[in-house]
Amino acid sequence: MKLPGFAAVNNQFHIARMCVRKKSVQLPAKALVIATAIFSLLPVTSAVASVEDTEYDIVIYGGTSAAVTTAVQARQMGKTTIIVSPDIHIGGLTSGGLGWTDSGNKNAIGGLSRNFYHRVWQHYQKADSWTWQDQAKFGNRNQSGPGPAGDGSTMWVFEPHVAEAIFDEMLAEYSIPVLRGEWLDRSPTAVTQNNGRITSIKTVSGKTILGKMFVDTTYEGDLLATANIDYHVGREANSVYGETWNGIQVGILHHKHWFQTEVDPYVKPGDPSSGVLPGISTQDPGVRGDGDHRIQAYCFRMCLTNVPENKIPFPKPEGYDPGKYELLLRVFDGGWREMFAKFDPMPNHKTDTNNHGPFSTDNIGMNYDYPEATYKRRSEIIQEHKVYQQGLMYFMANDKRVPEDVRAAMSKWGLPKDEFLDNGGWPHQIYVREARRMIGEYVMTEHDCLDTRETPDSIGMGSYTLDSHNVQRYITPDGLVQNEGDIGVHAPRAYEIAYGSIVPKKSQCENLLVPVCVSSSHIAFGSIRMEPVFMILGQSAATAACLALDNNLAVQDVPYDVLRKRLLEDKQVLEMEDSSLLSSRKLKGTVIDDRAAEFEGDWQSSTANKPFVDSGYSHNGNSEQGKKSATFHTKLPAGNYRVLMSYPANGNRATNIPVTVYHAEGHQQVIVNERIQPPIDKTFIELGTFEFSGEGKVVIETTDTNGHVVVDAIQFLPVE
């Protein structure tokens, strides 16, 4: 049953929205703001007014997309629940501009998460949903048919107001109360605990909310931190979890978010004494693989439009400083023109605009203190990001020093009048790509995401690339500017996410679940941190909380077989197998993937050609022959082994790659032609059979090679 007055006010709100879009109808801006404000309060029932007199089965802190699925699942399982949201608008990034869904393998998305995208599809089947564009011209972009869960067609691209309306509709269907604009009091006594369990939380406004189970669905992990749960901020060293892609990434160049031409970092080119341009650090960037305090950059996922009747020209923000963008002018001088590469199209001639290139919407290096900051300091950081990003768009559209072709193209775009009505068309949610990450019962690492170990107790799946945006902009030893931290490592298949990654250690708390700031390493979180996954984990967290309540258990003691049964009943996807993929842990013998190789020089990662072992392969870019090499070595029991080498063949490969096998009796060089498809399962060639006395070693060199040198994996097969 819907809340009293919901239908009437909801109708008024959508009439207001329609008035914005209809060219023939005008509505005062003040009325639009009022309509939005009224609608934002809809899910608040009279019960909320006496919240301190009620003990809820499940208290959810946070207003993200995960909060919605957590609450809906709790109600579907018959439990009382409340959302305590620091945000006025529900849905986090999903309703805050991220309308081009980063999803990976969509068949891995089930349950309420998939249902959300089905509702999006249903919305856009209505003719009146297409105000500024013909549906036929948009086509079936980013849509798909019924998935494995059998819950209908889906659409993975949408306008922000559509997402917010769907979330509010889902909450209203179950009469779920929401306290909006209520911030957790983060003082030491604000979270009351008794015998290892949270009993209540207090908000800054003075409200106390009692509960039996608690779920932290914030991007920042404020509840888990205030409850004294272990967590980490920043990048762990590779050595912490035996990873390859964590830690500082100096020398690693992924995507196109780095300076591909030589750009001088100094105010007066060539003169270090003149100082550096804004946004460039003068500190040593650190050693590759080491840990640090830095986190990947934030930005706003702007929704833009090029429809003149619906466009607000880019505003000139208060505090605008064109000097902040001097570095971008030097990028333009080098010929770069990819500023529209991440204007991902959404319905009604709108975009989800994301960071792209060496200098873009990511405000690199300006968010390090955000995760632990006070609310006041966070507000200052968010405002600084807003000024930077609004200023960037204004600069590109108006500054006479910007190339004319760039100004002319950018001036066609602006903020939409019919989005974020109470915020001038600007997103209300900054993209907190990473903040705190819990250290819980199980820590997800790249080994789980890359399928090099078996993940226990699946409660959902991830499949997106292990993705981190840049964390710093520094000066190279050659005196040039470069970005560091951007990385994208392909996940070979959809991978399982462990139940232990959303629960804290039992010794620390027995009734808290954390489906957003999950227990994971920095690089694993780079894949897990997708909005569909947060919704999946929110539903699973609620399921576990309900089962724990039913059986008077700590969340850590919920029997997995019981949890699994209910998750499958609710159409969650818990595992997917792909027999065509080659996993190093499933191949015979000892296999060393290129992720574990020792590289000399700068190599690049790729997944362009198949087949390959695990998540991709490395190549030398057909450059600096003789200066680059890759060494594979491993401990081996003494004996005879067949040594095999894998690579995906291609016509641009070298035909004369020197590969040296070091064995018990010395070493032997083999010349490999990577233009010829490997004969063994189209993946491996045999280098020979050799005796080893405790260690195997293979070195792939690039001296005088006549094409790209590809490095994938080395396999040692014992000879009976």
**Helix crossing, 160-173 with 6-21: angle to 10°?**
170
The residue type found at 435 is A
On whether residue 169 sits in a domain, the answer given is yes
CB 539 within 8 A of CB 149: no
Tokens of 441: 């019962």
Predicted confidence band at 34 (pLDDT cuts at 50, 70, 90)? very low
Instruction: Flag whether pLDDT at 46 surpasses 70.
Output: no
Number of domains in the chain: 3
On whether residue 20 sits in a domain, the answer given is no
Q: Are residues 63 and 206 in the same domain?
A: yes
pLDDT of residue 224: 98
Q: Is pLDDT larger for residue 142 or for residue 590?
A: 590
Instruction: Flag whether pLDDT at 422 surpasses 70.
Output: yes
Instruction: Flag whether pLDDT at 6 surpasses 50.
Output: no
pLDDT of residue 580: 66
Give the domain extent around 371. Answer: 302-423
What DSSP character marks residue 572?
-
As a whole number, mean pLDDT of residues 384-406 equals: 98
Nearest to 430 by CA among 97, 166, 89, 69: 97
Backbone φ and ψ of 125, nearest 5°: -85, -10
Q: Are residues 564 and 595 in the same domain?
A: no
DSSP SS3 for 446: helix
Q: Is pLDDT larger for residue 39 or for residue 638?
A: 638
d(CA 316, CA 390) in angstroms, rounded, equals 7
pLDDT of residue 256: 84
Q: Are residues 54 and 165 in the same domain?
A: yes
pLDDT of residue 33: 41
d(CA 524, CA 533) in angstroms, rounded, equals 13
Nearest to 707 by CA among 658, 644, 655, 634: 655
On whether residue 354 sits in a domain, the answer given is yes
Instruction: Flag whether pLDDT at 509 surpasses 50.
Output: yes
On whether residue 34 sits in a domain, the answer given is no
Q: Are residues 564 and 594 in the same domain?
A: no
Angle at 391 between CA 388 and CA 395, to 5 degrees: 135
Q: Are residues 118 and 193 in the same domain?
A: yes
280 Cβ neighbours under 8 A, 6+ residues apart: 265, 327, 473, 474, 475, 481
Q: Are residues 565 and 610 in the same domain?
A: no
Instruction: Flag whether pLDDT at 1 surpasses 70.
Output: no
Q: Are residues 404 and 369 in the same domain?
A: yes
As a whole number, mean pLDDT of residues 419-427 equals: 97
Instruction: Flag whether pLDDT at 673 surpasses 70.
Output: yes
Instruction: Flag whether pLDDT at 372 surpasses 60.
Output: yes
687 Cβ neighbours under 8 A, 6+ residues apart: 643, 644, 645, 659, 661, 670, 698
Q: For residue 430, what are the CA distances in angstroms to 294, 433, 573?
A: 18, 9, 30
Percent of the chain with pLDDT over 90: 85
Q: Are residues 555 and 598 in the same domain?
A: no
pLDDT of residue 151: 72
pLDDT of residue 8: 36
On whether residue 281 sits in a domain, the answer given is no
Predicted confidence band at 146 (pLDDT cuts at 50, 70, 90)? confident
Q: Are residues 522 and 612 in the same domain?
A: no
Query: CATH number, domain at 681?
Result: 2.60.120.260
d(CA 369, CA 283) in angstroms, rounded, equals 17
d(CA 162, CA 130) in angstroms, rounded, equals 12
pLDDT of residue 43: 43
pLDDT of residue 617: 93
Write down the mean pLDDT value for the chain: 92
Predicted confidence band at 50 (pLDDT cuts at 50, 70, 90)? low
CB 656 within 8 A of CB 704: yes
Instruction: Flag whether pLDDT at 18 surpasses 60.
Output: no
End residue of a domain, out of 401, 423, 445 = 423
End residue of a domain, out of 538, 569, 600 = 569
The residue type found at 75 is R
Instruction: Flag whether pLDDT at 130 surpasses 90.
Output: yes
On whether residue 3 sits in a domain, the answer given is no
pLDDT of residue 148: 66
pLDDT of residue 149: 63
Q: Are residues 170 and 122 in the same domain?
A: yes
pLDDT of residue 144: 86
- Taking only the tens place, the pLDDT of each residue in 180-225 is 999 999 999 999 999 999 999 999 999 999 999 999 999 999 999 9
As a whole number, mean pLDDT of residues 145-156 equals: 81
pLDDT of residue 503: 98
The residue type found at 130 is W
Query: CATH number, domain at 526?
Result: 3.50.50.60
End residue of a domain, out of 423, 439, 456 = 423
Instruction: Flag whether pLDDT at 15 surpasses 60.
Output: no
What is the largest distance, in Å, between two alpha-carbon atoms of the chain?
Answer: 87
Q: Are residues 546 and 621 in the same domain?
A: no
pLDDT of residue 606: 87
On whether residue 30 sits in a domain, the answer given is no
- Taking only the tens place, the pLDDT of each residue in 73-121 is 999 999 999 999 999 999 999 999 999 998 889 999 999 999 999 999 9
Q: For residue 25, what are the CA distances in angstroms to 14, 38, 117, 141, 347?
A: 14, 21, 31, 30, 21
Q: Are residues 105 and 213 in the same domain?
A: yes
On whether residue 485 sits in a domain, the answer given is no
- Taking only the tens place, the pLDDT of each residue in 429-478 is 999 999 999 999 999 999 999 998 999 999 999 999 999 999 999 999 99
